[in-house]
Structure formats: C-alpha cells, structure tokens
Amino acid sequence: MIKLKSAAEIKKMRQAGKIVAAVLQEMERAVAAGVTTGSLDKRAERIIRRAGALPAFLGYHGYPASICTSINEEVVHGIPGLRKLQEGDIISIDVGACLDGYYADAAVTFAVGKISPQAQKLIEVTRRSLEKAIEAMQCGAHLSDVSHAVQSYAEARGFSIVRSYCGHGIGTAMHEEPQVPNFGRPGRGPLLQPGMVLAVEPMINAGGWQVEVLADQWTVVTRDRSLSAHFEHTIAVGENGPEILTVL
C-alpha cells in the first residue's frame, strides 16, 4: 500500500530534506584529496544533529555510520573509515535524516580534483538521468515511466543500470512502498498522484550492470570493477508537478 502524504507531512519532509541538502553542500566543500571518509561522516553527523534531526542510516540494519561513502567501483553502501580520498577518485555520498519522525534521503557523486573524461561523463549522465526521472514524475504518469526515463537516458549513452538496488517510497520510514527500479517498460505500475513521495536513485555503471557485495557485508561494488555513480533526491508528486524536497 502506498501511503499518500498530507501537506503538513510534506512540510516536515521538506524540512528534513533541507537538512540533507545542507549536509551534501558541506560534503561538496569538504571533499578533497587527503580527506578521510570517516572525517566526512563525522562532519555530516554533526550537521544533522545540530539541526535537531537524527542520522537515518546510523544503526539501520546495523549500519555503522551516518552516511555512505562509495568510491570509484563502489556502487552504494560504502562504509566511512580511515581511507583517504585521492586525486582522480569519484565518491558517491548518500545522506539520510529523520526530523520529528519524517525522513529525507539524497545522494551525490563528487569528483576529487581532476578526474578522467570517462568518469566526468558517467557523473553527468547519472545526474541527468535523475533529472529525466524527476521530469517524468507528473500526476497521472505511471510509476514505470520514471524507471524508463532513467534507463533510456543512461543506456543510450553507453552506460548500464544497476538492477538489484532500487529507489523507494519514503515518509515515516526511510523505505516505504513502492520500489522504484531504474529500468523498465513505460506505462506500468501505479499511477502517480499528489502526496506520493519517492526517493529516486539511479545507480549507473560505466561497464556491466552486475554488482556484488564485499566481505564487510555492506559495500556494493561493480562485478567488473568499472566505475559507478549514484544520484538521489526525495521528490513529492504535486498537482503542479514534482517538488524536489532535498534542496536548500
């Protein structure tokens, strides 16, 4: 069952979304060669708590940190620690916050200094594929139109779509129905209507679509160790079109 949100609930999610956006803005400033992923996590946690919210990922199914930091061939769920960023890396940072019981979730892939043209293209295509998905989030569209928007945009540019992880509904839980795959035929699934809030999160690989989980039981990597990028926003379907909640 998809739970529709009231205007008051969306207001709360907008507030949670602004906290997530502020963290990502600070992450953009902080990302640099020599910086450890653990220090990014501490900074993020401080910002979330000072804003009166809780880090949504910390303790979720035992996850040990407040953000996910996934570098290069890491797709999602990379655990922050002592690893230092290096010039030429790309790093996907995923942030979730819970304010007064309402969740917001967003992710961005950043470049560390100068990166390869291929990495740059992967980041741009993944960012644009999320924009295409958001444009598809109109009342009366089908859920799979959103999925198809990501797939058609990214595959046409030579990249592949991660299939075993999806976007999701979000609200009073981080993960609610429905699942939002990043691939599929258009015109399928539930109709989008005002009050639906989705976290849409394309995960796009430079090589093959297959992924595996490392021995730490969290870090998802591409099977062929090709680069992967990840962008995510929390978006409400409104009568006058989609509203991105994870923006300042």
User: Which residues form the interface with ligand MF3 (CB under 6 A)?
Assistant: 57, 60-61, 63, 68, 77, 94, 96, 105, 107, 168, 199, 201, 232
> CB-wise, 125 or 203, nearer to ligand MF3?
203
Q: Which of residues 191-210 bind Co ion (CB under 5 A)?
A: 199, 201
Q: Does residue 80 contact residue 69 with C-beta atoms inside 8 Å?
A: yes
Least CB distance to ligand MF3 at residue 108 (A): 12
Kindly state the tokens that stand for 126.
């993944």
CA 209 to chain centre: 17
Give the shortest CB-245-to-Co ion separation in angstroms. Answer: 13
Count of Cβ atoms closer than 10 Å to residue 83 Cβ: 16
Q: Is 105 in the site for Co ion (CB under 5 A)?
A: yes
Question: In 3D, which of 12, 5, 106 has the Cα closest to residue 53?
Answer: 12
- Counting contacts by CB under 5 A, is residue 93 touching Co ion? no
Residue with tokens 């797709």: 75
Tokens of residue 219, six digits: 């870090």
Could you give the 3-state DSSP secondary structure of residue 38?
helix
**Other residues' Cβ atoms within 10 Å of the Cβ of residue 114:** 9
- Binding residues among 25-44 for Co ion as defined by CB under 5 A: none
Of these partners, ligand MF3, Co ion, none, which one is at the site of residue 60 (CB under 5 to 8 Å by kind)?
ligand MF3
Q: How far is the CB of 140 from ligand MF3 (least distance, A)?
A: 26
Q: Could you tell me the smallest distance in angstroms from the CB atom of residue 170 to Co ion? A: 7
Q: Which of 168, 163, 184, 179 is nearest to 228 (CA)?
A: 163
Q: Given the complex with Co ion, which of 74 and 105 has the nearer CB atom?
A: 105
Q: How many residues bind Co ion (CB under 5 A)?
A: 3
Residues at the interface with Co ion (CB under 5 A):
105, 199, 201
